[in-house]
Amino acid sequence: MWRRGIVLAACAVLLTLVMFFHAEIPNRIGNLGSLSETFLPWFGVFVPVLLVLGLVRRSATALIALLLPAVVWLHLFGGLLTDKSGSGGDLTVATHNVNAGNPDPAGTAQQVAGSGADVIALQELPSGQVAAYESALADRYPYHSVQGTVGLWSKYPMSGTRPVDIKMGWTRAMRSTVTTPKGKVAVYVAHMPSVRVKLNAGFTANQRDASADALGEAIADEQLGKVILLGDLNGTMNDRSLNAVTSQMRSTQGAAGNGFGFSWPASFPMARIDQIMVKGIEPMSSWTLPATGSDHLPIAARVEL
C-alpha cells in the first residue's frame, strides 16, 4: 500500500508545484507562464483523475500526496465556488464581443439589452454592421458612440468621448464620461489583440501585452475617481501580462460573482477573457448572459457608485 503509486505521488507533487509557483514559470520561452495562468483553474481537473488512479492502485502514498494539489487549488480558487452576489447597486453594465461574423447583429444587440443594462459596450464591430447595432439599440439607449471597432451605448449622457491608443495602429479602445444620477463615471471599452497558441512559437501574446500596458497607463492617468473597464482583454485575471490593468482594478466576477464566469468559447466556455473591472466603485453582482450569435458569451454586472 505504501510502496505502490510512487509515480502518482510524484505527479501530485509536480501538479502542486506548477499551481503554487505558477508566477515563477518563465515567459521567455513561448510565454509559457501566461499560457499556464490562462487555464490555471483547469489544473484542478487532474486532482480527481489522480484520485481515481490512486484508488485503483490502492496506494496510500498517492492518496496522501494528492492532498497537496487539492489544498493549493482550493487556496487559489475556492473563493470562486461560493455565491458572492448581493442585492442593491445603482448601475448595471454589460459587455460583449459580438464577433465580426455574427449572423444576427440585431438579435444579439437586443439580447444584451435585455439584461437591463444601463450601459453596454460592444467589441469587434465590423463597419458594415454598425448601423444594425445602432438601429437595434436606438430606442433604449439615446446616447452612443462608435470608435473604430468598439462602441458604447448609454441611457445616460456621454461626454469627453475619444479613442484610446493601445498601440495597434487602428482604434480598438475608447473612453467616455457617463453622467449617471449618482455622478460621473469614466467608462473604458477595450478589445485587446488576439493571442494564439502555435507549435513553433508557443503562446504568441506580445502585441496583446503591449496593448495592455498602454491601456493600464491610460487608466492610471484618468482624472475621474470612478472608473469602469468593459471589454475583451484576451486574457484572464491570473495572467501576469495584464498586470498593468489588473493591479489597479477589481474584477466584478471575483468580487461579486457566482462561479468562474467563463465567457469563451461560447460553445464550451473555458476561460474568462471578457472582463468587467472597476476602480473606486463597489461591485454588487456579476453574471454571464445567454449565448448569442457570437463565439463569446456576454457578461453583465451591477455596481454601486
- pLDDT > 90 in the chain, percent: 89
* Domain extent listing, the chain: 6-81, 91-304
Please tell me the predicted confidence (pLDDT) of residue 35. Answer: 87
Please tell me the predicted confidence (pLDDT) of residue 199. Answer: 53
Tell me the per-residue pLDDT of 129-166, one tens digit each, with 9 for 90 and over: 999 999 999 999 999 999 999 999 999 999 999 999 99
Tell me the per-residue pLDDT of 215-244, one tens digit each, with 9 for 90 and over: 999 999 999 999 999 999 999 999 999 999
Tell me the per-residue pLDDT of 157-184, one tens digit each, with 9 for 90 and over: 999 999 999 999 899 999 999 999 999 9
Residue bearing cell 480598438:
172
Residue bearing cell 489544473:
43
Does residue 201 sit in helix, strand or coil? coil
Q: Kindly state the DSSP code that residue 92 receives in the 8-state scheme.
A: E
Tell me the per-residue pLDDT of 43-85, one tens digit each, with 9 for 90 and over: 999 999 999 999 999 999 999 999 999 999 999 999 999 999 9
Beta-carbon contacts of 175 under 8 Å, excluding residues fewer than 6 positions away, are: 160, 161, 162, 163, 164, 186, 187, 188, 189, 218, 222
Tell me the per-residue pLDDT of 256-298, one tens digit each, with 9 for 90 and over: 999 999 999 999 999 999 999 999 999 999 999 999 999 999 9
CA geometry: angle 114, 119, 124, nearest 5 deg:
85
Neighbours of 127 (CB within 10 A): 10
Does residue 78 sit in helix, strand or coil? helix
Q: Kindly state the DSSP code that residue 207 receives in the 8-state scheme.
A: H
pLDDT at 205 over 80: no
pLDDT at 26 over 70: yes
CATH H-level, domain 91-304: superfamily = Endonuclease/exonuclease/phosphatase (3.60.10.10)
Does residue 209 sit in helix, strand or coil? helix
pLDDT at 198 over 80: no
pTM of the model: 0.93
Residue bearing cell 499556464:
36
Residue bearing cell 493571442:
195
Single-letter residue type at 74: L
Please tell me the predicted confidence (pLDDT) of residue 201. Answer: 47
Q: What is the distance between the alpha carbons of residues 183 and 115, in angstroms, rounded to a whole number?
A: 22
Beta-carbon contacts of 154 under 8 Å, excluding residues fewer than 6 positions away, are: 118, 119, 120, 141, 143, 144, 176, 178, 187
Cell of 305: 457608485
CA torsion angle for 26, 29, 35, 41 (degrees, to 10)?
-40
Q: What is the distance between the alpha carbons of residues 243 and 209, in angstroms, rounded to a whole number?
A: 9
Name 183's bridge partners.
180
Please tell me the predicted confidence (pLDDT) of residue 28. Answer: 83
Neighbours of 29 (CB within 10 A): 10
Dihedral (CA of 161, 245, 169, 263) sign? negative
pLDDT at 202 over 70: no
Q: What is the distance between the alpha carbons of residues 170 and 91, in angstroms, rounded to a whole number?
A: 30
Please tell me the predicted confidence (pLDDT) of residue 3. Answer: 75
